[in-house]
Amino acid sequence: MSGYPKGNVLIGCSVIAFALITLLVWIPSDTATGIVETVRRRTVIGDAMAPSLAALFLLVGGLLLLTAERRAASQPLPSREAVVFALQIALILVVSLLLMRWTGPLAAALAGEEYRLLRDSYPWKLAGFILGGTVMVAALLVLAEQRLSLRVLVIALAAVIVLVAIYDLPFDDLLLPPNGDV
Amino acid sequence: MGMLDHAWLGVLAVFQGPAAFSLFSLPISFTLLLVFAGFVLGIVVGATPGLAGPMAMAISLPVLISIFGYSSDALLPVMGFLIGVMKGATIGGAVPAILFNTPGTPDAFMTTLDGHPMARAGKAGKALRVAHFSSVTGDTFSDIVLVLCAPFLALLVEAYLDLPEKTALLILSLSFIAAVVGGSPGKGLISTGLGLLAVYVGSGEDFYPRLSMGTETLSRGFSVTTAVLGVLILGAVFEGMQETFHDHRRQPGATTHALTGDQVLRFADIRRLLPYIGQSAVIGTLIGALPGIGSTLAATLGYTLGRTRHQKHQPAGAPGFGDGVPEGVAATEAANSAVSGANLIPVLSLGIPGNAAAVFLILAADSIGGFTPGPSVFRVPSEGINPELVVAFGLFTAMFLANALNWTLGGLFMRSMGVMTRAPKHILLPIVLLLTLTAIYVQEPRMEAILFALAFGFLGYFMRKAGISPLPFVIAFILGGTLEQTARQAFAATGGDPFFLFASPIAAFFMLAAVAVIVFTARKPVT
């Protein structure tokens, strides 16, 4: 076993595999024109040319990691802790975005109204943003401080109210989430 | 109208544009007001560890566009604000570096080496004054070089480069950025390749949106906002949160050191520091003019060369670099600040962004319309006015205006920003995350935009964790469309010549240089 780190080999192999799949499978099957096309006796660049160049950049990059940079001193890889953290963040974001998207429509449905007709009126238009945004910031603060406190909720709510004051109150044409989707 | 007439119109556009209010019967234009506002905001975010100028730019852009709309009148106020942020953040980063040994921006790390020892010795006031003077001098020098060089470089490009040469130049730029950013050409190429691949999803000339996998979601492609803010800002926020949260400790209570002795920057001090500042300003400007090479390298080089100079000229036994000498602060701050103006040379003359701040200027120009950074900006029409040239000179005026603010008020603001260092990073970052997501939604009001941005954010996070710089990704994403368009036109113009990139000596030189820069940087000794 040689003693140098293996980060670049791992990244290089993954990127080469992705580049080859992109070049040989994805691009040919998912573009309507090839690298070059002849249209009415004129040869023009097709839609596959540019993505193939992108895949070529990936391929050369991966090969460089496997050859010239194989023994580089610094070869960082995402740690297990970094991956777990990303999953925690992703979970918080999914829950808070679902609340942001559906709080207003669900509340309107419970009141026997259609959200689309209420999305320009208070408090309906802000219900999802305030609840989803507060949950997002508060949950992230709980993750940081490892405890739930009233202070965390107050900070999160205050931050959301400031955002409403910046984006919603002065501008009629700006839509806060989820009002552009309903 | 000639170049000078356009320059004068640019100055007038800044000072006599739509007035925000009157001060002693003197109308103050929106552009003046916004350069000032951006400058103050820039100092605040620069002085706050965990925040950065690009974050402030990303969050402000939708608000500014909502206020000023999409008319060409919006260009100077909005871009003036961004320039103000860029300038302010440059000097703001030195504050926590000197006072609390915590660089506010990555390029301020070298400032800690001498700045903080000075603060510990009771010379914090002097260190901040040295940092301010050096930073502003370097920045002003860099701006002068920008104004002198950008128009001529653009005219040269227009005169000598045709479509194949422009295509080859774009490839060379991408290759150069991939090779030099982040110190690993392999990873730089991967970042560039990913950026190009992302921008080509859902685009193309055929009716079928390529690489969309037949889905409606991908058929519209990814907007610049979601990709750039995702990879650049959200990626940085996620990384910052991971580092801060998992430290399981708050930032240590900042210790202030009592001031002792003379805190004033005297003429004798300036005379002693000027050679260091001059040397670093030249280094920073040269590095800044090359796209992709950041101010961190400029600061490191400026500091290293300053140390060599100091060793030559100091008597034996005198304190050296690292012991808290003003020359160390001056060498670093002049170099990293000189990057900011010169970084706009490739943006304005070639349309190639070299750093994150330049990316946001291009984003603003792209969102508002009426100004496309590139060589055509500096074309002087045989009759009439080139409005883009007026805007370009308006931007130069805004830069010098920001410098004037920096010379007069910058030091005062800077010295009052010590309090920002106490802002708890673990509270700020989740708020910045929600702020960025909101900014993305108001620009592109659909939840898909937020989801795409988050996906790009996680991509940026894992790229950073794997030592892959996200900057080549962003620059490739911005240049990808232009590259394809130019290549298509060049190919058609040469009658379908498959070797159109090698048909002229200049294009062939650019292509060989693109390969050579990768080969030579990859062959450097492993450190």
User: How is B51-76 classified by DSSP, letter by letter?
Assistant: --HHHHHHHHHHHHHHHHTTSGGGHH
pLDDT score for B526: 45
pLDDT-derived band of residue B318, with 50, 70 and 90 as boundaries?
confident
Contact assessment for residue B230 and residue B454, using Cβ atoms and an 8 Å cutoff: yes
pLDDT-derived band of residue B366, with 50, 70 and 90 as boundaries?
confident
* Percent of chain B clearing pLDDT 70 (strictly above): 94
pLDDT of A41 higher than 90? no
State the average pLDDT over residues A102-121: 88
Please write the tens of the pLDDT for every residue from B197-227.
999 999 988 889 999 998 998 999 999 889 9
Rounded to the nearest integer, the mean pLDDT of chain B is 87
Chain A contact set for B242 (CB, 8 A): 81-82, 85-86
Spatial distance between the Cα atoms of B35 and B30, rounded to a whole number of angstroms? 8
Spatial distance between the Cα atoms of B198 and A50, rounded to a whole number of angstroms? 11
pLDDT score for B448: 93
A&B contacts, CB < 8 Å: 229
Give which of B159, B164, B167 is closest to B376, Cα–Cα.
B159
pLDDT of A54 higher than 90? yes
pLDDT of A141 higher than 50? yes
Of A22, A90, A180, the CB nearest to B197: A22
pLDDT score for B156: 85
pLDDT score for B47: 84
**A69/B526 touch (CB, cutoff 8 Å), yes or no:** yes
Q: Identify the DSSP state of B230.
A: I
pLDDT score for A107: 92
Distance from CA of A33 to the nearest CA of B (A): 7
Of A11, A55, A85, the CB nearest to B242: A85
pLDDT of B258 higher than 80? no
* Percent of chain B clearing pLDDT 90 (strictly above): 40
Minimum CA–CA partner of A73 in chain B: B527
Spatial distance between the Cα atoms of B67 and B34, rounded to a whole number of angstroms? 12
pLDDT-derived band of residue A1, with 50, 70 and 90 as boundaries?
very low
pLDDT of A123 higher than 70? yes
Minimum CA–CA partner of B458 in chain A: A86
**B246/A85 touch (CB, cutoff 8 Å), yes or no:** yes
pLDDT-derived band of residue B524, with 50, 70 and 90 as boundaries?
low
**B196/A177 touch (CB, cutoff 8 Å), yes or no:** no
Of B245, B446, B458, the CB nearest to A181: B446
pLDDT-derived band of residue A2, with 50, 70 and 90 as boundaries?
low
**A31/B446 touch (CB, cutoff 8 Å), yes or no:** no
pLDDT of B399 higher than 50? yes
Burial degree of B116 (CB within 10 A; 0-12, 13-18, 19+): buried
Copy the structure tokens of residue A1. 């076993």
**A36/B496 touch (CB, cutoff 8 Å), yes or no:** yes
Chain A contact set for B434 (CB, 8 A): 133, 136-137, 159-160, 163
State the average pLDDT over residues B4-20: 89
Spatial distance between the Cα atoms of B52 and B44, rounded to a whole number of angstroms? 9
The amino acid sitting at B108 is A
More confident site: B240 or A97: A97
Of A86, A145, A174, the CB nearest to B66: A174
pLDDT of B331 higher than 80? yes
Chain B contact set for A74 (CB, 8 A): 467
Spatial distance between the Cα atoms of B410 and B448, rounded to a whole number of angstroms? 41
pLDDT of B388 higher than 80? yes
**A78/B454 touch (CB, cutoff 8 Å), yes or no:** no
Spatial distance between the Cα atoms of A30 and B42, rounded to a whole number of angstroms? 44
pLDDT of A138 higher than 90? yes
pLDDT-derived band of residue B259, with 50, 70 and 90 as boundaries?
low
pLDDT of B257 higher than 80? no
Contact assessment for residue B135 and residue B153, using Cβ atoms and an 8 Å cutoff: no
CA distances from B231 to B42, B111, B449, B474 (A): 21, 28, 13, 7
State the average pLDDT over residues B294-310: 84
pLDDT-derived band of residue B291, with 50, 70 and 90 as boundaries?
confident
pLDDT score for B255: 59
ipTM field: 0.94
**B210/A30 touch (CB, cutoff 8 Å), yes or no:** yes
pLDDT of B527 higher than 50? no
pLDDT score for B121: 85
